[in-house]
């Protein structure tokens, strides 16, 4: 399950790990004009862990999800 919320300066997508025994904390993706931030609560620290990706990294990630193992240099 996931939710989508449009805010003034970003779109927030929350991925919810459902099932009989959820395996991971909810993950929130914040899509800004110039970057994407992924947040997930660290259950040990009780604080969110954040990773910021440039838009080029997001495009590479999207492409990588559909490719076999290997190294893919920029063209």
Domain boundaries defined on the chain = 2-64
Which residues have a Cβ under 8 Å from the Cβ of 44 and sit 6 or more positions away?
A: none
Joined together, the tokens standing for residue 3 give 């939710």
Joined together, the tokens standing for residue 29 give 């993706």
Contact 38, 23 (CB under 8 A): no
pTM for this model (two decimals): 0.82
pLDDT in tens, 43-60: 899 999 999 999 999 999
pLDDT in tens, 12-44: 999 988 877 768 899 999 999 999 999 999 989
Determine which helix (DSSP H) or strand (DSSP E) holds 57, and give its type and residue range.
Answer: helix 55-64
């Amino acid at each position: 399950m996931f939710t989508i919320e449009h805010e003034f300066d970003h779109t927030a997508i929350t991925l919810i790990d459902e099932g009989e025994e959820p395996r991971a904390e909810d993950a929130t993706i914040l899509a800004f004009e110039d970057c994407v931030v992924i947040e997930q609560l660290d259950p040990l620290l009780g604080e969110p862990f954040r990773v910021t990706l440039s838009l080029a990294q997001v495009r590479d990630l999207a492409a990588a999800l559909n490719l076999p193992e290997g190294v893919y240099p920029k063209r």
